[in-house]
Structure 1
Amino acid sequence: MIALIGSEGPLTVALTQALRHRGEASMTCALGVETVLEPASGPVTFRLEHLGTLLRHLRDRGVEAVCFAGGIARPQVDPSRIDAATMPLVPRLLAALGKGDDGALRVALGIFEEAGFVVRAAHEIAPDLLPAAGVLTAAQPTAQHESDARRAEEVHRLLAAADVGQGVIVRRGQVVAVEAQPGTDFMLRSVRGHADGALFLKAPKRGQDRRADLPVIGVHTVALAQEAGLAAIVLESGGVMVIDRAATVAAADAAGVVLWVREPDA
């Protein structure tokens, strides 16, 4: 059995379906306000202060592998609620909460591996989520889009060393916004009225552990891009998953937004 560590969001649903199609059993475990290891329905929930107890529960349930279905949350840790099984992990958990997303996920992956679990990547479970390189929409990139994509990729590479984010918005060569800890949705909402005609690049950080937090977009991303006035969404080929591709492309076509899966520059 494999445990999907994440919420009951679209990515988790897609992974559950892919595993079921192959005859593999799965269970979902999500960070929550309380730890509920045997729910009557829905996913297992756990507080970070009870991570050690969750690891023991997964072993008892026969779980052999885990997959991180999304980014890592950063809840406030209540020292009074840390249980005995989690106490040995506290120094590493506190260090992880102070790192960037990739640094924090590396710590989390290490904890699960040391507990005896194999870590599987989401895009390996559901490879169809990674579209091939090319323009997916009727609208095609312009020369300005090509120039802005190169500029966005240049800035994205510089940000990778600081473990900041996975997205950059550029308009006519000028950086409008970069994605930080609040995430893609926050960034797209924040540029409304300031990014008409801009291009949004989404890509994994250079050197990040791709077993966790590989970027994901879907219909919701396209809707936010349209509301922000963006003209193009560029995804790094082989590095960004698209949930419900047909619906996402249809939404981009309806919005007149270019959806371009681009090979990164050498």
Structure 2
Amino acid sequence: MTRTDAGIDVTSFGKIGIIAGNGLLPISVAHSLASQGRPFAVLGITGEMDPRGPLSQYQHEFIALEEFGSLARRLKAMEVETVVLAGGVERRPKLSQIRPNWETLRVVPTIIRGLSLGDDGLLRVIVRYLEKRGLKVAGAHEIVPDLLTPKGPLGHIKPSARDLEAIRKALEAAKAIGALDIGQGAVAVGRRVIALEGIEGTDGLLERVAAMRGHGRLAGKEGGVLVKCAKPEQELRADLPTIGPNTLRMAHAAGLNGVCVEAERSLLLEAAEAVCEADRLGLYLYGVTAEEQKP
């Protein structure tokens, strides 16, 4: 029996189906599974997964968001036993474009209910839908435990006492917006929170901070920090906070001193490259623990 460090029996997963959106996460999961010789298939979301990207080398098919009703059937046809939701989805299904067949119409109320609950609520609805149809759902961190962010400083640079103050302020703000299912990230400069993540995601947040600095809205030379953490009621099998090398590059472009993410409850993609980028750019990369989050 093969188990992860978290004690999960990975052999019980059987063939894994990656529902792939955009970004690096589904690629990282697929590459890891391939390197381990474990059976898997990719069901890419049309318009999100790149049809000519790295995932195209593996067994794959595509499904439109408006075909949500056939999701479980499609996965079972691919002989999938366990599903992992990986990657971003930029848009929401258009109900006017749903094909009017019995299979799809049965789940329209589920789709409508999910869309009304925000991102995390929608993910919970999807997870329940899959489980009710006999499929297991696992988090990317359960499939590939190495993706979880370790605790403490991850590169050569450590946050200063002043940086730690900014981290605590940004954490407080990130938890607050997470409780409202708005976003997972916040930027603080010193003791002041200056930007919160919204529907535009982390990249959009950092672009706004860079624009503020460029327009002179952020006075002084103090850099600040980006903090990302899981929402208080986070569905941990989907949409964990995720960063990668590009997050470090964008944080540097925004004039920040570092990036902090929640240790063991967030994903660090291309970890070796991300740490190298942090060191190269003079940023700290830090995994904050639950104990450090306490007032």
What residue identity is the alignment partner of 1:113?
A: E
Paired AA for residue 258 in structure 1: Y
The 3 A distance-change label for structure 1 pair 33 and 10 is closer
Secondary structure of 2:107's counterpart equals: helix
Q: Which residue of 2 aligns with 1:211?
A: 237
Q: Which amino acid aligns with 1:10?
A: L
Q: In terms of mean alpha carbon deviation, does 178-187 or 54-63 score higher?
A: 54-63
The alignment status of 1:63 with 2:80, answered yes or no, reads yes
Note the residue ranges of structure 1 that are not aligned, 5 or more in a row. 35-39
Unaligned runs of 5+ in 2: 1-14, 49-55
Task: Classify 1:143/1:72 alpha carbon distance in 2 versus 1 (closer, same or farther; 3 Å).
Answer: same
Two-structure CA RMSD over aligned residues (Å): 2.0
| Distance apart, 1:57 and its partner CA | 1.9
Structure 2 residue 57 is matched with structure 1 residue 31 = no
CA distance in 2, matches of 1:108, 1:64: 16
Instruction: Give the drift of 1:61.
Output: 2.1
Percent identical across equivalent pairs? 33
**Structure 2 partner of 1:260:** 286
Match for residue 269 of structure 2? 243
TM-score, normalised on structure 2?
0.82
Question: Does the 8 A contact of 1:167 with 1:184 survive in 2?
Answer: yes
Q: 8 Å contact 1:198–1:230 — kept in the other structure?
A: yes
2:149–2:265 contact (8 Å) kept in structure 1? no
Q: Would the aligned equivalents of 1:164 and 1:180 in 2 still touch at CA under 8 Å?
A: yes
Instruction: Report the Cα distance in structure 1 between the residues aligned to 2:57 and 2:29, rounded to whole angstroms.
Output: 19
**1:84-129 CA deviation, whole Å, 9 max, x = no partner?**
2111111111222232211111011111111211001100111111
Deviations 1:26-54 (A, max 9, x none): 112222159xxxxx977422112212223
Would you say how many aligned residue pairs link Structure 1 and Structure 2? 261
Q: TM-score, normalised by structure 1?
A: 0.91
- The CA deviation string for residues 176-217 of structure 1, in whole angstroms up to 9 with x for no partner, is 111111111111111111566011101111121100001111
Kept in 2, the 8 Å contact 1:200–1:232? The answer is yes
Change (3 A) 1:144 1:80: closer
